[in-house]
Structure 1
Amino acid sequence: MKQGIAATMGAWSARHRKTAVFGWLLFVVLASFLGGVHGSEKVTESESLPGQTSRAARILDDAGLKSPACETVLVQSAGLTADDPAFRSTVEQVSAAVRATGRTSEPLSPYDTGAVSADRHSVLLQFTVNGDDQEAAVANVPAVMDAVAGAKERHTGFVIEEYGEASSGKWFADQFKDDFTRAEWTAVPLALGILLIAFGAVVAAVLPVVLAITAFVAAGGLVALASGALHTSDNASSMMLLVGLAVGVDYCLFYLRREREERAAGRDHATALRIAAATSGRAVLVSGITVVVAMAGMFLTGMADFRSMAFATIVVVVTAVLGSLTVLPALLSMLGDRVEKGRLPFLRRSRRAAGEGGRFWNAVLTPVLRRPLAAAVLATGVLLAIAAPLLTMHTANLTFQQQLPEGNALVATSQRVEAAFPGTPSPATVVVRARDITSPEMTAALADLQARALATGKMHGPTEVKVHAEQNVATVDIPLYGSGNDATSVAALKALREEVVPATVGRVPGTEAPVTGSTAGSVDFNRQMSDSLLPVFGFVVAFAFLLMLLSFRSLTVALTAVLLNLLSIGAAYGVLALVFQHGVGASLIGTAGVGAVESWIPLFLFVILFGLSMDYHVFVVSRIKEARDRGLGTGAAVAHGIRSTAGVVTSAAVIMVGVFAVFGTLSMQSMKQMGVGLAVAVLIDATVIRAVLLPAVMTLLGEKNWYLPRWLHWLPRIEAEGPVGGPAGAAAEPLPVGAGR
């Protein structure tokens, strides 16, 4: 029978092992070097934002206008008012210190702008930080922050604190870099430690980690090379590390464990390697295709950040699959039994025959197979109970205060500013592009815009108009009441967009006037997410179903795969809502409930988890089908398949949970939610789903598991399957092996 793609690739790699190994190393080095030389082109603001916020960004970009990084310094006194000479003197000295840095515009005096609080105990000194873009402003702001800190030390009786786009941007940039470094230095040793326990040998444990890291490095270079056509982002780099390390290690683990299992069963090196290529290699290929298809669903969001994450993840998964199917067989062929070198005496374990499983999993599986209906009902009930908080889930773009950890100095400052100047941290900006921005008609409309906005009672002053006559563009900043993402701010934005703007500047012929700002960005983003849910969910579910149908030629297997995945994802959503929205158990992971789940998390988790969950499903069901194809009844095949994969699924799940949990320890709330959601879903999937619900359901269905209507017999297979070998020691097509002959 004709070999499948995975078996063919494995056979070629084993016969041309030096070519495969050195070819892989050359590929990794070239991809990394060329990517570094090319550099990464990042997603622009106009690309990353949807709706009116995107239109506003494009108008400013086309006009060559950059949104300045606005900063403020809060000067506050409990005993003195802004009219006191000592207070005025302090404000002037702070202004002089900021101006002396040479990194800012001329600071605007609060006595000129009216940025004095209602109780007159607080003022805001306003200015912009030099720089053509946000990155340049972030580079300039440290000198300004040092100047403000020096002024604070000299005026101990005052609260003097800086807050704004550049200072907060610097914190996020620094924290993202620190968190990413910490994740790298924690996740890799963690995966290596788990593999040492799983294999009990240094060489066998190091192989998957090395291949996963090289796949990640090569993918990073490829993504950078392609960034000229498809811009990338910092989030994409995080996703590559997260997914690349998880699937890269898992794929190698599946392959390596099967080869070791066949050797333990008495087969020679060549036969063991051929069987691993034809079985686990095929499972890796099918799983990789499923993950790629799931990731492709993110392209349907229509948002540049999601496109960049989807592309980066697809590239790293394809690279990991390529490495697992080529360089790994070559390395195993070279090493032979030396893959067991560096065995750890305290982890030495007896080799069980294939299919026996471990004591723990035997104890779990025996009652499940004996009473499958009771096990299925109980497991389903538990998962539905865990998923129940999903019904209360509220999603939102988390505010600056919600994203940062409790006790953060910037959060405290922003809260003081918001308390003294309600709405000021989140002004809306109307970007007006007209035929003639200086015409009397437009000048009157701009004045009317400000007056009508204040008359609604939902917005307040001071408003600010900046006219760029050469570009025929004007910007109007109008502070909104509310916290920025609450119902009050959203209602104010709606009134501005739907009532005030159309009745004023919108009446001038040839005028475009989109409204942007943090509140507008949040509203537009949430709307885009809501509009994307059904298309993305439908695409991922439909194509995953089709891939399972083609892989196993069974309508039942495809349907149960989709339903079980939906159940585990629903449970993960329930945990997210319970912990991060309602705060139950949040203190255990160093956070607190923030009343909402980050708006992009549910869609992102769905896509990632639907792809990754197929790792285990494909691997386990492939082993069950393999046993049935050898003549076992469905019940016996299920028992054999679950027992023979329990160890590797457990090891793979522990690695994935460990890697994802690392992201749950990072500083930003969105990273915590992503890490915890992924870790919980994988844990549930590898335990309750694969060890209880899957065997129970398949046992209940019996031969119906393999049902394929006659009218679907024309469906092609993803790849043809060859025989996977006979009894131990049976003859097989020889493959070169470098040791142990």
Structure 2
Amino acid sequence: MASRLYTWGQWAVRRRGRVMAVWLLLLAVVGGLGITLHGKVTNEFSVPGIESQKAQDLLEEKFPTAAGGVARVVFAAPEDGTLTEPKADAAVTASLKKAADVPGVVNVSDPARTGTVSESQRIGYADVLFRQSADSVPETSKDALSEAMAQARDVGLEVEFGGSAMQPKTEVGGPAEIVGVMIAFAVLALALGSLIAAGLPLVTAVVGVAIGVLGVQFVSRFLEMTSTATVLALMIGLAVGIDYALFILSRHREQLADPDTDVEDSIARAVATAGSAVVFAGATVIIALAALAVTGIPFLTIMGLAAAVTVLLAVLIAITLVPAVLGLFGERLRPRARRTERTKDTESAESTKDTQSTGRAAGSWGLAWARVVTRKPLIVLLVGVIGMLALALPARDLRLGLPSYASQPSDSTQHKSYDLLSEGFGPGFNATLTAVVDTSGIPAAERTATVTDLRTALAREPGVAAVAPPVTNPDSTLAVVAVVPKTGPDAQATTDLVHRLRDNAPAMAKAGGTLYIAGATAAAIDVAGKLSDALPLFIAIIVILALILLTVAFRSLLVPVKAALGFLLSVAAALGATVWVFQNGHLNGVLDIPSAGPVTSFLPVLLIGVLFGLAMDYEVFLVSRMREHYEHTGSASEAITHGVARSGRVVSAAALIMVAVFGGFVFNHDPIIKSIGFALAFGVFIDAFVVRMTLVPAAMALLGRHAWGLPDWLDRITPDVDIEGAKLPQRALPTQDGEDRADGSEGEAREEREVAVR
């Protein structure tokens, strides 16, 4: 692999103008398509085959007027007033009359007639039913509905909106995300010691992310895609794009520290060595994200594939556009501290000494850290593992779900409507369930009695606050019964109630009908259950994948096992911290979390897939330097300290960049994006600094030479990918007479240059 990438890197440098032109042309074409021909993203997380989705499909087929989106308009009188006062009552009636004229509205309920007014008479609500599905209600109709309530607001009433049709749009690019990118730039500047060098990874990453995100928007014209898919592609693409460019750039500048190094050769070697690790690590991220397809959940599959394509673009940019840009800047990227104004006769010897001393200085803290960790490796390993397990403890109580309006920002109309409904009627009015009964198999004369008996049975269930009268479609083959729980959508009691209500299905089946329990709350419960069932298989696939890939990369059995165990520790710790914050309600004020609730149902699967790829990034970059040194010296202990000293700085910088980018999304107003950003930021931080930089060196020290062992039979069938660059062409070094001389050993070349000078 390294030899081919070396040739590829040379080609990219020599054809840098064409390479940059191709990428800019691709950006222009994809950008134009994404901006002008983009589709519409959805905020619904539906899963074919689950009970709630079957019910929704049945409603759309047999009772379309009951399948449309609902906007729940909540009215609240001042503390000293009521909605029954003549002035307030007239304003509500007039506003609802205007709402009936909004395009797409097919029915508007009347609070006075339906009794949806609280006992205090201060809070009430009306349901506005649209012809379109909830996700298809246009923004113009929502705005018109809001404007229709002007008369109610004019008399002093508070008007807020909830319901399935009022899902807020997911937006990115706010101040927090920008701050995250600025922190990433600061980390790059400190790590590279150059503002020009720091800007390059950001520029190349932005090109890749722009192509990826705009491409995803264009594809949304043909595939149903959630808004979270676009944000995930942006989040991951930006983070890995910066990191991959950083790995190649830092290796290039490390090589340029030797003043005898040719710029073009250095770029090609950086692409061959660091680029091999980028390709290998990027492949793990892509495969892990694509593996989300095994869950059998379409929206998650598309989400994973969208992010995987963005990562693929980041890899391609790292091995094509990055070397082209490095070639464009040429000598300007050579570290200034390595340059001298000495004569040619003395420059060779003294630059060798300078390179060796500054090389030690550059990795001095990493060298010191590696020596501390490997001095008492067993103690370090035990303390680290125990600490990680302690962080993972809250994950034992993990509950999955989808965020309700209680998780929306406190100043949003959705959150305010949630609070008003809870105050006036109880939290269960935010978790209304829908019992859908297919009565086509029941004799026509018995349908009414059968549905009435069902309503009575549902009302007797513990935890049910109210059951509405049945509503049937025109040919009476489908009945809909609204069931209001006593508890809110995020409560475990509501989940238990849904399962108990579904226990009435066998009795309905005996009568010839089919019962479904549906609604937004039931759908969230069904999605969580589906994802929980898929989690063990997904973890098994990821762990097996890690073992195979790392066995191929390092030709070792123990290194992959160690890496997989470390990855599982990182995932457990990240899930534990996420449960502690989002489910248990800690740090709510600091992170601006309006309400504690279940963890987003697809977050664990997403976290496992993304964190696996990123963890393997750091494992490959760190251990490949250890392997490279071990191959040259045969010393296992020196390989550990050398690997940490050489890679510690860049791995730490890469991890901090990831944390900064992901951390910026923690302050996004969308509760799903917020939780994903936190889980990934925490997971990357723990994995990089605790697992890879601490536990890995300690474990390698305990394993010693055994870490690099591979049985003969496995050695024969394992392909040699050469990510360390052992088979690269010999490096060209200048001789006294000015001609180039090839030498395969950098250390020997330095010694011979010193002899020549003496």
TM-score category by the smaller chain?
Answer: 0.7 to 0.9
Pick from 269, 275, 296: which aligns with 1:302? 296
**Match of residue 278 from structure 1:** 272
After TM superposition, the structure 1 stretch with the greater mean CA deviation from structure 2, 380-389 or 436-445, is: 436-445
Deviations 1:271-326 (A, max 9, x none): 31232122101000110111112112311222222112100111011111011111
**Match of residue 419 from structure 1:** 423
Pick from 594, 612, 615: which aligns with 2:614? 612
**Match of residue 689 from structure 2:** 687
The aligned amino acid for 1:39 is H
* 2:582–2:598 contact (8 Å) kept in structure 1: yes
- Residue 545 and residue 593 in structure 1: after superposition, are their counterparts in 2 closer, same or farther (change >3 A)? farther
Unaligned runs of 5+ in 2: 338-353, 735-739, 744-758
**Match of residue 26 from structure 1:** 25
Q: Number of residue pairs matched? A: 715
Pick from 297, 316, 330: which aligns with 2:324? 330
Deviations 1:397-431 (A, max 9, x none): 33221x12345554233222123223333221233
Q: What's the CA shift for 1:14?
A: 2.8
**Match of residue 674 from structure 2:** 672
Q: What's the CA shift for 1:564?
A: 1.5
Distance, in Å, in 2 between the alignment partners of 1:627 and 1:433 is 70
Pick from 493, 516, 529: which aligns with 2:498? 493
After TM superposition, the structure 1 stretch with the greater mean CA deviation from structure 2, 240-249 or 141-150, is: 141-150
Distance, in Å, in 2 between the alignment partners of 1:298 and 1:306 is 7
- Residue 14 and residue 719 in structure 1: after superposition, are their counterparts in 2 closer, same or farther (change >3 A)? farther
* 1:301–1:536 contact (8 Å) kept in structure 2: yes
Pick from 240, 244, 266: which aligns with 1:247? 240
**Match of residue 737 from structure 1:** none
Distance, in Å, in 1 between the alignment partners of 2:742 and 2:287 is 34
Pick from 159, 162, 170: which aligns with 1:161? 159
Q: What's the CA shift for 1:120?
A: 4.6
1:522 is paired with a residue of what secondary structure? helix
Distance, in Å, in 2 between the alignment partners of 1:370 and 1:673 is 38
After TM superposition, the structure 1 stretch with the greater mean CA deviation from structure 2, 580-589 or 691-700, is: 580-589
**Match of residue 709 from structure 2:** 707
Distance, in Å, in 2 between the alignment partners of 1:207 and 1:647 is 18
**Match of residue 191 from structure 2:** 198
2:118 is paired with a residue of what secondary structure? coil
Pick from 460, 465, 468: which aligns with 1:463? 468
Q: Taking every aligned residue pair, what percent have the same amino acid on both sides?
A: 27
Unaligned runs of 5+ in 1: 344-349, 735-741
Q: What's the CA shift for 1:468?
A: 3.2
Q: What's the CA shift for 1:166?
A: 6.1
Q: What's the CA shift for 1:253?
A: 0.5
1:514 is paired with a residue of what secondary structure? strand
**Match of residue 404 from structure 1:** 408
Mapped pair 1:220 → 2:217: no
Distance, in Å, in 2 between the alignment partners of 1:457 and 1:689 is 48
- Residue 268 and residue 381 in structure 1: after superposition, are their counterparts in 2 closer, same or farther (change >3 A)? same
The aligned amino acid for 1:324 is A
The aligned amino acid for 1:52 is E
- Residue 458 and residue 149 in structure 1: after superposition, are their counterparts in 2 closer, same or farther (change >3 A)? same
- Residue 14 and residue 208 in structure 1: after superposition, are their counterparts in 2 closer, same or farther (change >3 A)? same
Distance, in Å, in 2 between the alignment partners of 1:726 and 1:367 is 36
After TM superposition, the structure 1 stretch with the greater mean CA deviation from structure 2, 133-142 or 257-266, is: 133-142
Deviations 1:570-623 (A, max 9, x none): 222232233333344443333367154333222221211111111111011111
Q: What's the CA shift for 1:327?
A: 1.9
- Residue 25 and residue 85 in structure 1: after superposition, are their counterparts in 2 closer, same or farther (change >3 A)? closer
**Match of residue 112 from structure 1:** 113
Pick from 358, 373, 382: which aligns with 1:377? 382
Distance, in Å, in 2 between the alignment partners of 1:718 and 1:224 is 39
Distance, in Å, in 2 between the alignment partners of 1:184 and 1:410 is 24
The aligned amino acid for 2:118 is S
**Match of residue 52 from structure 1:** 51
**Match of residue 739 from structure 1:** none
**Match of residue 476 from structure 1:** 481
Mapped pair 1:262 → 2:255: yes
Q: What's the CA shift for 1:365?
A: 2.4
- Residue 426 and residue 604 in structure 1: after superposition, are their counterparts in 2 closer, same or farther (change >3 A)? same
1:714 is paired with a residue of what secondary structure? helix
The aligned amino acid for 1:623 is R
- Residue 592 and residue 404 in structure 1: after superposition, are their counterparts in 2 closer, same or farther (change >3 A)? closer
After TM superposition, the structure 1 stretch with the greater mean CA deviation from structure 2, 423-432 or 278-287, is: 423-432
- Residue 433 and residue 167 in structure 1: after superposition, are their counterparts in 2 closer, same or farther (change >3 A)? closer
* 2:615–2:684 contact (8 Å) kept in structure 1: yes
Question: Which runs of structure 2 are paired with 1:324-723 in the superposition (5 Å)?
Answer: 324-339=318-333, 353-354=358-359, 356-401=361-406, 403-406=407-410, 408-422=412-426, 423-435=428-440, 439-456=444-461, 458-461=463-466, 463-469=468-474, 472-499=477-504, 501-504=505-508, 506-509=509-512, 511-591=513-593, 594=596, 596-717=598-719, 719-720=721-722, 721-723=725-727
Distance, in Å, in 1 between the alignment partners of 2:48 and 2:325 is 46
Q: What's the CA shift for 1:547?
A: 0.5
1:560 is paired with a residue of what secondary structure? helix
Pick from 207, 227, 250: which aligns with 1:234? 227
- Residue 220 and residue 718 in structure 1: after superposition, are their counterparts in 2 closer, same or farther (change >3 A)? farther
* 1:580–1:592 contact (8 Å) kept in structure 2: no
* 1:104–1:128 contact (8 Å) kept in structure 2: yes
* 1:203–1:342 contact (8 Å) kept in structure 2: no
After TM superposition, the structure 1 stretch with the greater mean CA deviation from structure 2, 216-225 or 628-637, is: 216-225
1:405 is paired with a residue of what secondary structure? coil
Q: What's the CA shift for 1:137?
A: 4.6
* 2:204–2:241 contact (8 Å) kept in structure 1: yes
Deviations 1:613-641 (A, max 9, x none): 11111011111111112224111111111
Q: What's the CA shift for 1:566?
A: 1.7
- Residue 355 and residue 386 in structure 1: after superposition, are their counterparts in 2 closer, same or farther (change >3 A)? farther
* 2:74–2:420 contact (8 Å) kept in structure 1: no
Q: What's the CA shift for 1:229?
A: 6.3
* 2:289–2:307 contact (8 Å) kept in structure 1: yes
* 1:43–1:305 contact (8 Å) kept in structure 2: no
TM-score normalised by L of structure 2: 0.86
**Match of residue 321 from structure 1:** 315
* 1:222–1:315 contact (8 Å) kept in structure 2: no
After TM superposition, the structure 1 stretch with the greater mean CA deviation from structure 2, 488-497 or 633-642, is: 488-497
Q: What's the CA shift for 1:341?
A: 10
Distance, in Å, in 1 between the alignment partners of 2:144 and 2:154 is 16
- Residue 524 and residue 574 in structure 1: after superposition, are their counterparts in 2 closer, same or farther (change >3 A)? same
1:116 is paired with a residue of what secondary structure? coil
TM-score normalised by L of structure 1: 0.88
- Residue 38 and residue 718 in structure 1: after superposition, are their counterparts in 2 closer, same or farther (change >3 A)? farther
The aligned amino acid for 1:620 is L
* 2:134–2:165 contact (8 Å) kept in structure 1: no
Deviations 1:418-460 (A, max 9, x none): 2322333322123344548993333433333323322435435
Distance, in Å, in 2 between the alignment partners of 1:231 and 1:4 is 42
Q: What's the CA shift for 1:726?
A: 6.1
Deviations 1:205-240 (A, max 9, x none): 222112111111222344345446653221111111
After TM superposition, the structure 1 stretch with the greater mean CA deviation from structure 2, 581-590 or 567-576, is: 581-590
Distance, in Å, in 2 between the alignment partners of 1:83 and 1:437 is 43
Distance, in Å, in 1 between the alignment partners of 2:336 and 2:186 is 14
Mapped pair 1:729 → 2:733: yes
Q: What's the CA shift for 1:471?
A: 10
Q: What's the CA shift for 1:88?
A: 4.1
1:279 is paired with a residue of what secondary structure? helix
CA-based RMSD of the aligned residues comes to 3.2
The aligned amino acid for 2:275 is G
